[in-house]
Amino acid sequence: MNTVKRLARTLLAISLCTGLTLASVAFAADDSVTAQMKAMDTNGDGMVSANEHADYARAQFQAMDADHNGQVTVAEMDAWRKAQIKGKAPANLQPSSVTLIKSLDSNNDGTVSAEEYATAAEKDFNAMDTNHDGKLTADEMRIAHDTQVASNMPVPGSN
């Protein structure tokens, strides 16, 4: 698999978990990026800092970790993802939560810990921050989204 596809798959897995990609056919790509920027940009400066991104990822992890044990299971991720789409996309989400967990699970224990999730979110941020200024612009987030689409990765709600 070439580097672009590997990066796209990694970005997709992380962004699906951190909420960077809305799983709804109701939003166009620009609307999705705009909505996510607004949700993450807590200081309202029109950009997402590394801290804002990390805070958002941490909140997403806590929301997924239904039993608050510091580990997200496939069942927890499935439940969270289905709640996020609120019936706007097929129940058969692609890629599956099993695939997403495998891509984030660095110690191969079948779950994603808060540390693994934070590490993946940081890598995601760094990959999207193409000018390395410590902030994500809407354009940088749009490029990451377009990379996912161009890689022919299935995007929730698109099938």
How many percent of the chain have pLDDT more than 90?
Answer: 54
- Write down the pTM of the prediction: 0.73
Domain positions in the chain are: 3-150
Cα-to-chain-centroid distance, residue 43: 21
| Residue 5 in this model has a pLDDT that exceeds 90 | no
pLDDT in tens, 21-40: 333 332 345 577 888 899 99
Architecture, CATH, for domain 3-150: Orthogonal Bundle (1.10)
pLDDT in tens, 82-108: 888 775 655 555 678 999 999 999 999
